Structure 1
Amino acid sequence: MNRTLTVIAAALLAAASLPALAAPLAANDGRIRAQLMSRNAVTISSELSAKIARLPVAEGASFAKGQALVEFDCSSFRAQLNKAQASLGAARQLVKVNTRLAELNSIGALEISQAEGKAKESAAEVSYMQTVVAKCVIAAPFPGRVAKRHAAPFQYLNPGNPVVDIVDVGPMELRMLVPSKWLGWLKSGHRFNVQVDELGRSFPASIVRLGARIDPVSQSIPAIGVIDAQDTALLPGMSGWASFTPPK
């Protein structure tokens, strides 16, 4: 008896959860809930074990592509680079001297080979330290805004520690789930309007691509749209209703 009740309870629980999954957040008048998202949203992380010297861009502020977002205190790394460059200079000078001595039959091929090997080793060390020093400044990969700071100036970080979250300032995407039965008429390029809740305004938009797989439970498919206007009032995370009209 207890087993029968358990089975019935499980069946009722499963049935109760189906309506939440059976359809996307849609209204009966062709409207779909949509959310604005940046095309590029990146967490900038440290690649060095070093102390932050500067965070030039404040949280919420804008930046240009290539602008410095993070600057580390790399005095010790630069000192190691200078030492490696000095060693390389000395090694190359030794190669020149040994080559001249070999021409005078004063030394053998072994000494020349050892000097050349030392020069190559020093050159590799210089190249490595140049790579490390180049990571002392993290430049913006695209124009955007700082969404969040995870660290502060003078804070010591290890490789992999997050520093700042950034988002781009290009046209934002609209992410939504549409009924799969709309695939008969909803195609890339289809025009629609989206009413943004936070602004109380409507914007023209268009579908740029559809998802590659239908969810068999909700019978829905992801759809990505883009708002035509680049309005500075639009921010990632805003949401609203996207209104679709099937073509006649």
Structure 2
Amino acid sequence: MNGTRKYAARPKRRSGRLAPRDLLPVLLLLPCLAWSPAWAGPESVSPGPAETEAVAAAALRPFPVIFEARHRATLSASRSGVLGSMKVDVGSRIKKGALIASVDSGEPALRRKRGELAVRHLNKKVAELTKLNKSGLATNDAVQTAIMERDLARSEIAIYRREIAVSAIKAPFACEVIRRHAQAHEWVTEGQPVVDVVSLAEIRAVANIPSHIAVRLKPEMTHEFYVNDLDVEVTGTVAAITAEVDERSNTVRVVWKVAADGHRLLPGMKGEVRLDG
């Protein structure tokens, strides 16, 4: 050896450019990559029914409601007197027109009877005077006076009959007694409350809804209500939208007619309704 050191041959350095033969596999794969689902954006995937329902539910806002009866009344005494009888108690269910209580009507009844007797007598008197007048034995003034007395007696009888009629306190509709203000044999004055009654046949839901949401509501629109006290959901339809905005709260009073669906939905119960906010 002559002392000259030999080195292994180094590989040739490749330039940064790709040769055409290197691009061929990439070009062949491009159509496949363009149609691959992995390249599809999220907007191209249609949401399913469950996802759509969840998004719609998330957009709803809850609003508190209170349930009330459409028909309720405080029945009062129409005349002063002793409450002679009380046919019902709290919780009693009553048919329309049934007797609830009555104020003693003994004195008006006696006056009516006396008036009826007076009318009978005056009828005979008028008949006799009319006969005598035809014979010239009674004046026209006497006949007219007797007729006037008879008409006054008949008017008094009508007044007494009305007093007797209003002595009875009757149910104005099919209802249930929820409160008593007086007991039997107590003295009551004209206009004094005797019982509170309510009808459970038609229950309404009432809520104060922001005006910008209330203006989008229409009569007969259907909404779902959750009843806190019963832990159930019921359906209601819009019955009325008050044509006035409360200046302080900027809300509108909305009323729904609620279908109880067999649940004992009582006035005063609370719940919520979800509306698109």
**TM-score, structure 2 as length reference:** 0.76
**Cα displacement (A) at 1:110:** 1.1
The 1-side partners of 2:222 and 2:255 are apart by: 12
Residue 166 of structure 1 aligns with which residue?
197
Q: Which residue among 216, 221, 224 is the counterpart of 2:252?
A: 221
**Cα displacement (A) at 1:232:** 5.4
Per-residue CA distance 1:201-236 (angstroms, 9 max, x = gap):
111111111011011321110000011235351111
The 1-side partners of 2:97 and 2:67 are apart by: 25
Letter in 1 for 2:137: S
Q: Which structure carries more relative contact order (alpha carbon 8 Å, separation 6+)?
A: 1
Change (3 A) 1:153 1:230: farther
The 1-side partners of 2:263 and 2:79 are apart by: 35
Q: Which residue among 11, 30, 48 is the counterpart of 2:61?
A: 30
Q: Which residue among 55, 62, 65 is the counterpart of 2:93?
A: 62
**Is the 2:78–2:166 contact (alpha carbons within 8 Å) kept by the matching residues of 1?**
yes
> Which SS does the other structure have where 2:218 is aligned?
coil
1:47 aligns with 2:68: no
Residue 197 of structure 1 aligns with which residue?
228
**5+ residue gaps in structure 1?**
1-27
> Which SS does the other structure have where 1:233 is aligned?
coil
**Is the 1:34–1:240 contact (alpha carbons within 8 Å) kept by the matching residues of 2?**
yes
**Cα displacement (A) at 1:191:** 1.0
**Cα displacement (A) at 1:74:** 1.2
Letter in 2 for 1:93: K
Residue 76 of structure 1 aligns with which residue?
107
Number of equivalences: 219
Residue 144 of structure 1 aligns with which residue?
175
> Which SS does the other structure have where 2:137 is aligned?
coil
Residue 233 of structure 1 aligns with which residue?
264
Letter in 1 for 2:211: S
**Cα displacement (A) at 1:83:** 0.7
Letter in 2 for 1:238: M
Change (3 A) 1:131 1:210: same
Residue 166 of structure 2 aligns with which residue?
135
Q: Which runs of 4+ in 1 moved over 6 A?
A: none
**Cα displacement (A) at 1:245:** 4.0
> Which SS does the other structure have where 1:116 is aligned?
helix
Letter in 1 for 2:130: T
The 1-side partners of 2:261 and 2:147 are apart by: 59
What is the alpha-carbon root mean square deviation over aligned residues? 1.5
**Is the 1:88–1:126 contact (alpha carbons within 8 Å) kept by the matching residues of 2?**
no
Letter in 2 for 1:171: E
Larger Rg computed on CA atoms? 2
Q: Which residue among 155, 161, 164 is the counterpart of 2:186?
A: 155
Residue 40 of structure 2 aligns with which residue?
none
Letter in 2 for 1:40: H
**Is the 1:193–1:244 contact (alpha carbons within 8 Å) kept by the matching residues of 2?**
no
Per-residue CA distance 1:167-199 (angstroms, 9 max, x = gap):
112211111101111134211111111111111
**TM-score, structure 1 as length reference:** 0.84
Letter in 2 for 1:73: D
- The sequence identity of aligned pairs, in percent, is 21
**Cα displacement (A) at 1:75:** 1.4
**Is the 1:42–1:167 contact (alpha carbons within 8 Å) kept by the matching residues of 2?**
yes
> Which SS does the other structure have where 1:30 is aligned?
strand
Residue 90 of structure 1 aligns with which residue?
121
**Is the 2:80–2:103 contact (alpha carbons within 8 Å) kept by the matching residues of 1?**
no
**Cα displacement (A) at 1:116:** 0.6
The 1-side partners of 2:202 and 2:62 are apart by: 22
